[in-house]
Amino acid sequence: MSEETKKKMSISALKRDNTKRINSLPRGENHHTWKKNPDHLTFHKRIYRKLGKASQHKCVDCSKQAKDWSNKKRILTQKMEDYEPRCRSCHMKYDMTDSWKKKIIKNLKRN
């Protein structure tokens, strides 16, 4: 199965599950921030669109309210099942690499 086909299938599955929410948000390739190879932060935003906010879940480590989606493998993957909700502090302990920390800091300064 081609990557393109997989993507189409996941998008149509998503529409079935969550049509109202999806319709109210910018969509996939039409969205101006869409990238073929998204960086970590961009991909996290895409996860929010697919899985909802991490804050609707409990942190898998400490059971407090989660804040972020963190990747089980600590690398960027396109698989939603690789992501777990974590609170900010457990997330940082779990998977923040130096390069990603720099991005976060950059992002915070911008806001």
Residue ranges in contact with Zn ion by CB under 5 A: 59, 61-62, 87, 90
Cα–Cα nearest to 62, from 82, 44, 81, 88: 88
Q: Which is nearer to Zn ion, 13 or 104 (CB)?
A: 104
CB of 72 to Zn ion, least distance (A): 15
Assign residue 57 a region: left if phi > 0, alpha if psi is -120 to 50, beta otherwise?
beta
Cα–Cα nearest to 77, from 34, 50, 47: 47
Q: Which is nearer to Zn ion, 64 or 106 (CB)?
A: 64
Q: Which is nearer to Zn ion, 54 or 59 (CB)?
A: 59
CB of 89 to Zn ion, least distance (A): 6
The answer to whether 85 and 68 are in contact (CB under 8 A) is yes
CB of 92 to Zn ion, least distance (A): 10
